[in-house]
Amino acid sequence: MPIDAKQPYDEQNIFARILRGEIPSKTVMESEHSLAFHDINPLAPIHVLVIPRGPYVSWDDFTAKASDAEIADFVRTVGEVARQTGADAQGYRILSNSGKRSGQEVAHLHVHVFGGAPLGPMLAR
Ligand code: AMP
């Protein structure tokens, strides 16, 4: 069920639980304000999720409320993940679903980093 980008933050969402170490994830990298880990259901040879450590529901919530330091750290982490995984070598795609119409399923902001193969058209028509 897609979530509302403007709903209150739910401390029990699955990525909050990963941040608290309550459920495992395969870490790619960590920084002061961000965590990157492999998607459990990869849609490309490289499929990594980057999340802020702070309690932000969506891209909408994050860009309205996060500090400059959190935003800078998050954007740099996305770039660093692409370099560390080798996705940068031949090109990659970043994507963040925000709210109901996008199909966002997990109510903690995440950016998908896809790479490792040709990725096809940006959206299916
Ligand atoms: P979205 O539809 O943009 O909200 O994407 C949610 C993503 O989270 C999907 O690609 C899922 O495969 C992924 N996901 C859900 N649970 C986990 C988990 N425990 N560890 C890693 N990825 C997960």
Domains and CATH numbers, the chain: 14-115 (3.30.428.10)
Q: Using DSSP, state whether 71 is helix, strand or coil.
A: helix
The pLDDT of residue 100? 95
Q: Whose CA is nearest to atom 17 of ligand 1?
A: 40
The encoded tokens of residue 1 equal: 């069920």
Handedness of CA 16, 20, 22, 23 (dihedral sign): positive
Q: State which ligand 1 atom lies nearest to the alpha carbon of 106.
A: 4
Active site residue 110: yes
The pLDDT of residue 69? 98
The pLDDT of residue 124? 85
Name the residue with tokens 């459990």. 40
Q: Whose CA is nearest to atom 20 of ligand 1?
A: 40
Give the residues across from 48 on adjacent strands. Answer: 38, 113
Identify the segments of the chain with pLDDT beneath 70.
none
CA of 40 to the centre of ligand 1 (A): 6
**Mutational pocket test of ligand 1: of 105, 108, 109, the residue with most ligand atoms within 8 Å of the beta carbon:** 105
Q: Using DSSP, state whether 86 is helix, strand or coil.
A: coil
The pLDDT of residue 125? 80
The encoded tokens of residue 92 equal: 């990659």
Report whether residue 104 contacts ligand 1, using a CB cutoff of 6 Å: yes
The pLDDT of residue 31? 98
The pLDDT of residue 73? 99
